[in-house]
Amino acid sequence: MSESRAELILNLFKESQALLKGHFLLTSGKHSEWYFEKIKLIERPVVLEKIIDLLVEQIKKDSLEFDYVVSPAYGGIAIGFLTALKLQKMFAFTQRVEERMTFRSGFAGLQNSRAIIVEDILTTGGSINEVLECLQARQVTVSGIYCLVDRSGGEVLIQGKPVGSLLSLKVEAFEPDKCPLCQQGLPLIKPGASDKK
Ligand SMILES: [Zn+2]
């Protein structure tokens, strides 16, 4: 029996260990069934490559015209670079300098070009909007916007449209006294705690 594309995608994110299913204590104090650890996406390049291949397949289907793939640092650098390589396009990234998103000097070809934005995990869309502003400042036409994981489940709209994603998953957070996972007696995991050995 062959896996559906959706199952394949979900399994790759689990294999990367960027997506964990369980019962997690979030920094907000709420509880959640899912936990994303962005950095895990780039920790296993072999798995990331398989994920990127699926994203590239999706981008190709959309038949967009663009010269650049642009991503926000840092996680986005590996992801956008690999995407650009597979699509045989140019690559540029933005980074935060004193809180403000900006292009570092260089990337001279960007001016008046066409680009797609590729982000790792979309939560509120804040970074993507900042990348958009950076691109607008260079008169770049944005042909498409993609992320690997849309944590809003398609609720976040950028320029009035949902962002193209491989995995769209609405992550619900529960107040501890209303948490169905607590009610099932599942042990609560504090993510990151295992890093502090
Ligand atoms: Zn709970």
Q: What is the pLDDT of residue 193?
A: 58
Q: Which helix (H) or strand (E) holds 33?
A: strand 31-36
Task: List residues, by chain if needed, whose CB lies under 5 Å from ion ligand 1.
Answer: 31, 179, 181-182
Within 10 angstroms of residue 95's Cβ, the number of other Cβ atoms is 15
Which residue would you say has higher pLDDT here, 104 or 33?
33
The CA 75 to ligand 1 mean position distance, Å, reads 29
Q: What is the pLDDT of residue 1?
A: 56
Q: What is the pLDDT of residue 119?
A: 95
The CA 43 to ligand 1 mean position distance, Å, reads 28
Domain layout of the chain by residue ranges: 5-192
Q: Name the token pair of 24.
A: 């997690």
3-state DSSP call for residue 61?
helix
Does residue 124 carry a pLDDT above 80?
yes
Q: What is the pLDDT of residue 118?
A: 97
Q: Which of the listed CATH numbers 3.30.465.10, 3.40.50.2020, 3.20.20.140, 3.40.50.10490 matches domain 5-192?
A: 3.40.50.2020
Does residue 191 carry a pLDDT above 90?
no
Q: Which residue's structure tokens are 């896996």? A: 3
The CA 123 to ligand 1 mean position distance, Å, reads 21
CB 31 within 8 A of CB 179: yes
The average pLDDT across 31-52 equals 93
The CA 57 to ligand 1 mean position distance, Å, reads 38
Specify the range with the lowest mean pLDDT, choosing from 65-69, 85-89, 157-161. 157-161
The CA 188 to ligand 1 mean position distance, Å, reads 6
The average pLDDT across 175-182 equals 96
The CA 141 to ligand 1 mean position distance, Å, reads 45
The CA 119 to ligand 1 mean position distance, Å, reads 30
The average pLDDT across 139-153 equals 95
Q: What is the pLDDT of residue 104?
A: 82
Torsion of CA 103, 132, 96, 57, to 10 degrees: -90
The CA 194 to ligand 1 mean position distance, Å, reads 19
Does residue 187 carry a pLDDT above 90?
yes
CB 127 within 8 A of CB 72: yes
Does residue 25 carry a pLDDT above 70?
yes
The CA 68 to ligand 1 mean position distance, Å, reads 43
Q: What is the pLDDT of residue 60?
A: 97
Q: What is the pTM assigned to this prediction? A: 0.89
Q: What is the pLDDT of residue 197?
A: 40
